[in-house]
Amino acid sequence: MKFSMVKANVIRHLGNHFASRPCRVYDSDMMIRIEATHLGTFPDVSVVCGHSKFSDLRRVSLLNPCLIVEVLSDSTIGYDRGKKFWHYRHIESLETYVLISTGEILVEVYERLDQGSWRLRTFEGLDGVMNLDKLEVSLPLASLYEKTSLIPDP
């Protein structure tokens, strides 16, 4: 339940944020094709700002996300932080990779730096605000965890 709710909250808030910008928010039905490593994967949320590029005419394999979000579960946490992130780093357009915990109020944001390395910043607690500098996005963590068991009912 937490996993689905957090994912829905992220899609809703990013969609609202990008409503007046040339960005599209995709859910986990959109495949990301990583040409350099030949991996096709379905991240929880992906965003393209500008023109979406696809690997085929059916438009089912996206090539150029600038943001990928993974909502962590016990069964995916190791892969999402490790090998999957290794694959994602081969996407030239990717600027930001976000990992959202479902065990606690904690968000990890990796942003690509100019020289190709990645900077990690963490945001935590109900008063925390996730800042995605490259995309000019700031979202309160409380909004990402709305209606989950991690936030007590009023």
pLDDT along the chain (154 residues), means of 10: 93 97 96 95 97 82 97 94 96 97 97 92 97 96 94 71
The verdict on residue 28 lying in a domain is yes
pLDDT at 57: 66
- The number of distinct structural domains making up the chain is 1
pLDDT at 46: 98
Query: Taking a C-beta distance cutoff of 8 angstroms, is the pair 113, 145 a contact?
Result: no
pLDDT at 153: 67
Give this prediction's pTM: 0.94
The verdict on residue 153 lying in a domain is no
Supply 80's token pair.
């999402």
pLDDT at 50: 95
The verdict on residue 154 lying in a domain is no
Supply 18's token pair.
């990008």
The verdict on residue 152 lying in a domain is no
Find all residues with CB under 8 Å of 128, minimum gap 6, and list them.
105, 107, 140, 141
Q: Domain containing 82: what range?
A: 2-144
The verdict on residue 60 lying in a domain is yes
pLDDT at 154: 64
Supply the CATH number for residue 11's domain. 3.90.1570.10
The verdict on residue 151 lying in a domain is no
